[in-house]
Amino acid sequence: MLEQRIQQHFIDSADLKYQAAQTLSTPIAAAVQAMLACVTSGGKVLACGNGASAAEAQQFAAFCVAGFERERPELAAMALTADSTLLTAGPGGAQDPGSQQFARQVRALGQAGDLLLALSVSGNDANLLAATEAAHERDMTVVVLTGRNGGQLGAVLRETDVLISVPHDRAARVREVHALVLHCLCDGVDAQLLGEQEIPL
């Protein structure tokens, strides 16, 4: 029955979030500290991902610049997923396997102290691996959100990078938790910058 199927989504999503609250709070706190260090020293966040994760990257950049739940000064952030001309320009554009266009933007815009935020369920996308390599070339910190085990992205991170891997195999569940993680990042940064306070409804 359809209602039961829908209810099961709510139950499964809540179960995963409950289960992940404890294990993910430590890497999320580390990501908040990395982001704070970046934005308070004049750095910027570059966010990327493919498909649904591109939308989440854009949402995150919008929260940084336009605000999350509280009034605060704008934080420097941009999504690398929003320029269709650049993303489809060849060679190395969307028509080529293993697009270089995220990596190119990182090399063009990234500076030491900036932060790359990459989102991927599998953790195996070649264009995100290339962007991570470019970020390391620029001495940027990398924060990666993935599904279970982190995939290839998890394996190339440095000690100062942060891996937030959601312990589930179903893409929809992983993306739901990614959305929650991004909210935690925004709230954590706001709390550190502005002090803890009740959020009005």
- Binding footprint of ligand I22 on the chain (CB under 6 A): 50-53, 120-122, 125
- Judged by beta carbon, residue 75 or residue 182, the one nearer ligand I22 is 182
Distance of alpha carbon 194 from alpha carbon 70, whole angstroms: 9
Tell whether omega for the bond before 91 is within 30 degrees of 0, i.e. cis: yes
Nearest distance from C-beta of residue 72 to ligand I22, angstroms: 30
Nearest distance from C-beta of residue 51 to ligand I22, angstroms: 2
- Judged by beta carbon, residue 75 or residue 79, the one nearer ligand I22 is 79
- Judged by beta carbon, residue 110 or residue 150, the one nearer ligand I22 is 150
Distance of alpha carbon 142 from alpha carbon 132, whole angstroms: 7
Closest alpha carbon to 181 in 16, 18, 28: 28
Query: DSSP state, 160?
Result: T
- Judged by beta carbon, residue 172 or residue 194, the one nearer ligand I22 is 172
Nearest distance from C-beta of residue 78 to ligand I22, angstroms: 19
Nearest distance from C-beta of residue 53 to ligand I22, angstroms: 5
The gap between the terminal CA atoms of the chain, to the nearest Å, is 35
